[in-house]
Amino acid sequence: MRLKWFILLLVISVILLIAFENRAQGITFRGASPYNHRWDGTSNFVRYLAKNYGDVILVNSWIDAESTLQNHLVQYYSCRLMIFISPEKAYSDDDINIIARLFLKYGFSIAILDEGPYTNRILDPLDIPVKINAFNYVKMYKSVYRYAEDIVSGYIDIDYRYDVVFSYVSTVSIYNQSLCRPIAYATDSVVGALCDLNVGMVFVLGDGSIVTNAAIPSVNKINVYTIVVDSLINKLCKGNVSRVLFLVDSSRYSLRPLLPEEMIEYGYSGLKTLGMMLNPFRYIYVYAVNGDPTLFPLLLIVLSILIAMVILYNHRFLKRKEEPISIVPLYRSGYDRRILMLIVDRCRESQDCIRMLPCIVKKKLNRKCIKELNMYLSKNKSFRKKILDTILFTSTSKH
């Protein structure tokens, strides 16, 4: 019976945890994720690509992407391009192998816009002679007391010089300028390179900010950054841009809970916002997925077991105790005094009761004696049964 209760409570707790809140509510991706619609995301960039060039596949899993492409008419596209923008997590060996196969076997070119270290793992196995000097930001002299690295002016030269502004741009090292040439600069530092290899084109820029929503606030308006995107795609595709297939990496970004003002901005009501802020499941989910996606189901099971154990413990040990039978309300409230005297008479007839309550032999009962009689009546089942039988017998005799 106990096992059935435990299993039932476990199932109920799991269902409640899952149903308590849609895990997608009140949560967004950090950084340059294509799913991030805020200023630092790249949602407008992928919409711009889809509107102007062809098909965009957001790659949540490179294993799934490769399986999809095996059944996809890749040859149907005039150009194929993989894009990586400021990833926040390292790529696995399987990911690197798949990306290499797509580059070598399927004819995908590569565009990397990243100030961090993770995309160097893509470049190394392909023997691309370029390295991003991760977080080695270019600094611009602003005043006697300050250098700036958050806003740095520079340019990108893709058959035409485009003056742009970088944000936290890392330098780029080129080891073979016969294969790769510098095409982007911040102050006097090289921050970008374009490689023309036998198997495909590779573009590397030490900054992802030029394709964020802050740089491309609208897909319907042209600015210097959309012009750079157009020139870059035209260069990587060697002019064959009639129909382009883009694989945009979306697999290496962390989740975060939305702030209250962000939830209000997204249209959630005040009550819904408060509920999501107080719901611990939202934070547990974010922590589990950011740490290890396989950790979430395990954490959910453990949490459910703990909840079930607490419920089971409460059911077994914290049940409300029976209130002790009390004759004080009868005596002090002026109800039938005969019941009180009946209890007293039966106590005087019991040697055990007299032994436990010496005060009962007195003619006048004080409050302390009645209190002790209450306790004796509550604890002594046989005496309580005797009283009940007497009351029932007396009631039956009257009728």
Q: Is residue 272 part of a domain?
A: yes
Specify whether 46 is located in the same domain as 126: yes
Tens of pLDDT, residue by residue over 317-352, are: 545 444 454 554 444 444 456 777 778 888 888 888
Specify whether 149 is located in the same domain as 197: yes
Specify whether 221 is located in the same domain as 83: yes
DSSP 317-375: HSPPPPPPP-SHHHHHTT--HHHHHHHHHHHHT-HHHHHH-GGGGSSS--HHHHHHHHH
Residue finishing a domain among 253, 275, 302: 253
Distance CA 145, CA 139 (A): 13
Specify whether 66 is located in the same domain as 198: yes
Distance CA 44, CA 162 (A): 21
Specify whether 301 is located in the same domain as 393: no
- Average pLDDT rounded to a whole number, residues 155-164: 95
What was the pLDDT predicted at 17?
53
Specify whether 119 is located in the same domain as 247: yes
Q: Is residue 301 part of a domain?
A: yes
What was the pLDDT predicted at 126?
94
Measured CA to CA in angstroms, residue 305 lies from 23, 94, 104, 231, 268 at distances of: 20, 34, 49, 57, 32
- Domain of 115, CATH number, reads 3.40.50
pLDDT band at 97 (very low <50, low <70, confident <90, very high): very high
**107 backbone φψ class: left, alpha, beta (φ>0; ψ -120 to 50):** left
Specify whether 372 is located in the same domain as 348: yes
What was the pLDDT predicted at 262?
72
Specify whether 62 is located in the same domain as 123: yes
What was the pLDDT predicted at 59?
96
The residues with which 28 forms a beta bridge, in sequence order, are: 256
Tens of pLDDT, residue by residue over 220-236, are: 999 999 999 999 999 99
How many domains would you assign to the chain? 3
What was the pLDDT predicted at 133?
97
What was the pLDDT predicted at 25?
66
The model's pTM is 0.67
What was the pLDDT predicted at 375?
82
Specify whether 230 is located in the same domain as 100: yes
Q: Is residue 55 part of a domain?
A: yes
Q: Which range (26-30, 159-163, 175-179, 368-372) has the least confidence? A: 26-30
- Does 238 or 141 have the greater pLDDT score? 238
Strand-by-strand arrangement of the 54-59 sheet = 54-59, 244-249, 79-85, 109-113, 201-205, 189-196, 180-186, 152-157, 161-166
What was the pLDDT predicted at 5?
62
Q: Is residue 236 part of a domain?
A: yes
The residues with which 256 forms a beta bridge, in sequence order, are: 28
- Predicted confidence (pLDDT) at residue 289 exceeds the cutoff of 70: no
The DSSP H or E segment spanning 255 is strand 255-257
Which pairing describes strands 255-257 and 27-29: parallel, antiparallel, or unpaired? antiparallel
Q: Is residue 260 part of a domain?
A: no
Range of the domain at 224: 31-253
Which pairing describes strands 140-141 and 201-205: parallel, antiparallel, or unpaired? unpaired
- Predicted confidence (pLDDT) at residue 266 exceeds the cutoff of 70: no
